[in-house]
Structure formats: C-alpha cells, structure tokens
Amino acid sequence: MRGLLLVAVALLTAAGLAPSVRADDVLAIESLADEVPRFSLTPAGGGTALDNAALKGRTVLLHFWATWCTPCKEELPALDALAKHLDPARYAVVLVAIDTNATAAEVLAYAEGLGVRLPVYVAAAGGVDDSFWGWGLPVSYLIDAQGRFIGRLRGPRAWNAPATLDALTALHTR
C-alpha cells in the first residue's frame, strides 16, 4: 500500500498536480539532533578505510545491513541501482555489513551475488559505533554535506522508487 502511495505521489508531482512533498515525509526520516560519531569503515575487498572526512561535501546515505537480514537482501540491489542515478560528486551510498560470523570475503561475495557493484564495507571492531544499528536492521542514516545527521530511517525502504530518488535529490539542496 505504501509503495502505491509513493508511486501515486511521484506521478502527480511529475505532472504538476500534487502539492510539494517533503523528503522527510516520503522517506519517513526520524530526526536526530546528535552529531555524527566519527567512524572508519574497512572495505570488504581490501584497500583504504573510509571515514567521515572523506565524505564531507556530499550527502551520504549510510546503510547498515547483514547477510542474515531478509529485508536487506532485497534492499542491497535497490540501493546499488539508486546510486547509479545519483551524482557521485554530490552523493554517496555507503553499504556497511555488521556481520560477526562472516568474513569480509564472505560478505563481499554475498553482495556481489546479489548484483551489488558498490563498494561494501564491514563494521570492524572499533571502526564504527554499534549504536548505529543497536535497534535492529536494516537501518540507514542520512548525513548532510557538512557531516551532520539529517536523520535515521529504520526498516526497509523502496530505494529504487522514483519518489525516493526525488526525495534524496531534494535533501542535497537543503
């Protein structure tokens, strides 16, 4: 039902027949007043760690998932598709696996098996605060270009819906 509503809003908006819709309403963003804790993410495929400083200047969708999370399995390909529609100079979609019983290689193979081509990171010990995902999975955070929280999105989303793309695009211009 929610998916149909989002599609209807997107179609009406595109036709100029709907009132302006806020990104917060489409994405159901939970506001956060806290500063983004410093984090350093280990690439599952090896290489240089990714931290907050490397993401400044871009709107970031920081997504926490696990190989055992059923909704995450559907979201990963949708997030990968979403990233292809976003300008990488202005946006970053960052996928962070929190698996503790899978190796980085297993996590990477899992994501690649779903068709994901985005870099995949693992929440290595001490690199990222587990309060990011303490309530459950999946969970995503939106971070503005200055490195501050926009908000949290608990649970799965229709990441490949046109209304979602429009809402994320609008966030960068806030």
d(CA 84, CA 88) in angstroms, rounded, equals: 8
pLDDT per residue over 150-163, tens digit each? Answer: 999 999 999 999 99
Burial class (CB in 10 A: 0-12, 13-18, 19+), 32: middle
Percent of residues, the chain, with pLDDT higher than 90: 60
Would you state the pLDDT for residue 145?
A: 92
- pLDDT over threshold 80, residue 104: yes
Encoding tokens for residue 144? 């503005």
Closest CA to 58 of 94, 82, 33: 94
pLDDT per residue over 113-126, tens digit each? Answer: 999 999 999 987 66
pLDDT per residue over 49-92, tens digit each? Answer: 999 999 999 999 999 999 999 999 999 999 999 999 999 999 99
Rounded (5°) CA angle 51-87-3: 95
CATH code, 148: 3.40.30.10
Question: Cβ atoms within 10 A of the Cβ of 12, count?
Answer: 13
Would you state the pLDDT for residue 130?
A: 66
Would you state the pLDDT for residue 10?
A: 37
Encoding tokens for residue 113? 């098996």
DSSP-assigned letter for residue 130: G
Would you state the pLDDT for residue 22?
A: 43
Would you state the pLDDT for residue 102?
A: 92
Domain count of the fold of the chain:
1
Whole-model pTM above 0.85? no
Angle between helices 70-84 and 162-172 (to 10 degrees): 60
pLDDT per residue over 8-21, tens digit each? Answer: 333 333 333 333 33
Residue 37's domain comprises 2-172
Would you state the pLDDT for residue 30?
A: 76
Q: Are strands 59-65 and 91-97 parallel, antiparallel or unpaired?
A: parallel
Average pLDDT of the chain, as a whole number: 82
Cα 59 to Cα 39, 77, 141, 173, distances in angstroms: 16, 20, 10, 9
Q: Which amino acid is at 44?
A: A
Find out whether 50 and 41 touch, Cβ atoms under 8 Å: yes
Q: What is the CA radius of gyration of the chain?
A: 16
Judged by average pLDDT, the poorest of 29-38, 45-54, 135-144 is: 29-38
